[in-house]
Amino acid sequence: MLVRLGPLVLFAALLAAGAAKADDLADFNAAVEAAAAHNRVAIGYLRTGNKDLVSLEIDRLREAWQRVGSVKRPSVFDQKLYVKEMTDIAMRLVTADMMVTMGKPDGVRAALIGMRDDLYDLRTSAHIEVLADCVKDANTAMAALLAFDDHKLDFARPGVGADLAAKADAYGATLKRCDSMASASVREGPEFRRLIDGAQASLTFIPKAIAEHDANLLHRVLDEMRAFDNLLAFRFG
């Protein structure tokens, strides 16, 4: 695949053209989600090592991202930050293209995840949240829980049980928030339900692990929850 700078030039032109269109946050979010779907699939193919399919999805991601530029900047976004983040994302797409060509999957992954982070930061700056942002928060809360995944965890140490319980409650609260904010079609879908309900069911075993000082049980529960959390990010993040 050849590296193309064209998308950067086209993206700048689309930003200017977008001024003639209606200021519609819903249209912006929909266009971004269409692009994000290709981002997620590309990251999934990176896990399987299929370079050709990764390359194909990045091509589709680039095309979808050009459509994002045809939507006028929603007024809730600060213009300076918006231009910065969107330009950074365009550069990440170029970088991802280069990394695929050079056979560096870690570089591709970093560029694609960086794109997710840029969008999260942009929306957070305007106090806007979509499902993908909530899923990212869930991933962060899960990472805090995984800090307790230790076969030698000393439950008798003061504060360990309470801290673990608090982290579990925080993760559970985030899952509930994601569940409540998902669209009806997503919320009622079997895949989303399996992941959300499965993670919430696993959470119910953490109080038992704390009460019984059972690090092995905690490890099994966290391992199961990590799988649900990874799939949640892959499919909806």
d(CA 144, CA 138): 10
d(CA 170, CA 8): 40
Q: Specify the pTM.
A: 0.81
Q: What is the pLDDT of residues 99-145, one digit of tens each?
A: 998 999 999 999 999 999 999 999 999 999 999 999 999 999 999 99
Q: What is the pLDDT of residues 184-229, one digit of tens each?
A: 999 999 999 999 999 999 999 999 999 999 999 999 999 999 999 9
Residue 94 · residue 5 · CB < 8 Å = yes
Helix (H/G/I), strand (E/B), else coil: 111:
helix
Residue 140 · residue 93 · CB < 8 Å = no
Task: Label residue 22 by pLDDT band (50, 70, 90).
Answer: very low
Q: Higher model confidence: residue 7 or residue 64? A: 64
Task: Label residue 237 by pLDDT band (50, 70, 90).
Answer: confident
Residues 6+ apart with CB under 8 A from 85: 118, 119, 121, 122
d(CA 203, CA 165): 10
Q: Higher model confidence: residue 13 or residue 232? A: 232
Question: Is residue 236 classed exposed, middle or buried when 0-12, 13-18 and 19+ CB atoms within 10 A define those classes?
Answer: buried
d(CA 38, CA 35): 5
Dihedral of alpha carbons 201, 203, 206, 207, sign: negative
List Cα–Cα distances, 54 to 94, 127, 163, 187, 226, in angstroms. Answer: 14, 32, 40, 28, 24
The gap between the terminal CA atoms of the chain, to the nearest Å, is 27
Residue 91 has pLDDT above 70, yes or no: yes
| Residue indicated by tokens 């209606």 | 22
Q: Which domains does the chain have, with CATH numbers?
A: 6-125 (1.20.120), 131-236 (1.20.120)
Task: Label residue 23 by pLDDT band (50, 70, 90).
Answer: low
Nearest C-alpha neighbor of 23 from the set 86, 74, 77: 74
Residue 18 has pLDDT above 90, yes or no: no
Task: Label residue 72 by pLDDT band (50, 70, 90).
Answer: confident
Residue 13 has pLDDT above 50, yes or no: no
pLDDT for res 17: 42
Chain centroid to CA 136: 5
Helix (H/G/I), strand (E/B), else coil: 195:
helix
Residue 105 · residue 210 · CB < 8 Å = no
d(CA 37, CA 18): 22
